[in-house]
Amino acid sequence: MAGQALVIIPTYNEAHNIAPIIDKVVGLEVECDLLIIDDGSPDGTADVVREKQEKYPGRVHLINREKKLGLGTAYVQGFRYALQHDYQYICEMDADFSHNPDDLPKLIELVRSGQTDLAIGSRYYHGISIVNWPLRRLILSFMANIYARVITGVPIRDMTAGFKCIHRKVLENINIDRIRSNGYAFQIEIHFRAYQAGFSLKEVSIIFKEREEGESKMSKSIVREAVWRVWWLRVQSLFGRL
């Protein structure tokens, strides 16, 4: 029988990071299973995960996709897996240690204790808590989150946060099969759909650190998608089509 909490980690060329992140999550006080969704990484990320599956039987799961299909589709596939395998608390986390695994227990506990339906590890809840970002990227991210918050009306400061814990009832009620966003806009859409459906969202301040290994997945197309997607979400909600 599946454990209560599942941590979903999408990967592409994370062979240097994935082994230590798996070890860290498996070793936490709160019991979490992991689901790695790898987009055909040419650096052998999936092979590293398979080695960890042998070390932690039943705790580490792998979906190996043939090519790079994007963050949003990976998480939607992971959500379906979580629901099918009876997980109650579904977490999102990056593979590169920009999210500290030690923060996972408090996110899960907020949801498990009923304090919120969706707990968000926020970079902007108390000021700005980001380490080693260039000023240009910091300003872009900060202003993008203000933009998304104002247009969508969702009262959280870190709309693009990718570190969170979601109660399964949220995923069961927001129609994940209709999610179309695939970059950072995916995170905005998850928060927006949950808020529109009447679920509670709560931010917890975390320290976000820029990756030390591998390359960032940020691109201009991801930024463009986020810019127009918030308007699409707002219009769809006005016409009751979400």
pLDDT in tens, 151-202: 999 999 999 999 999 999 999 999 999 888 887 789 999 999 999 999 999 9
How many distinct structural domains can be found in the chain? 1
User: pTM higher than 0.85, yes or no?
Assistant: yes
CATH code where residue 195 lies: 3.90.550.10
Say yes or no to pLDDT of 150 above 60: yes
- Cα–chain-centroid distance for residue 230? 18
Say yes or no to pLDDT of 220 above 80: no
pLDDT for 205 equals: 97
Say yes or no to pLDDT of 12 above 50: yes
pLDDT for 184 equals: 77
Instruction: State the residue range of the domain holding 173.
Output: 5-238
- CA 116 to CA 191: how far, in whole Å? 13
How confident is the model over 190-214, as pLDDT tens digits?
999 999 999 999 999 999 998 665 4
pLDDT for 3 equals: 60
The count of other CB atoms within 10 Å of the CB of residue 163 is 25
How confident is the model over 57-105, as pLDDT tens digits?
999 999 999 999 989 999 999 999 999 999 999 999 999 999 999 999 9
pLDDT for 2 equals: 54
pLDDT confidence band for 222 (50 / 70 / 90) = low
Q: What does each C-alpha distance from 5 to 79, 84, 191 come to in angstroms?
A: 12, 13, 20
Core vs surface per residue 15-42: b (16+ CB within 10 A) or e: bbbbbebbeebbeeebebbbbbbbbebe
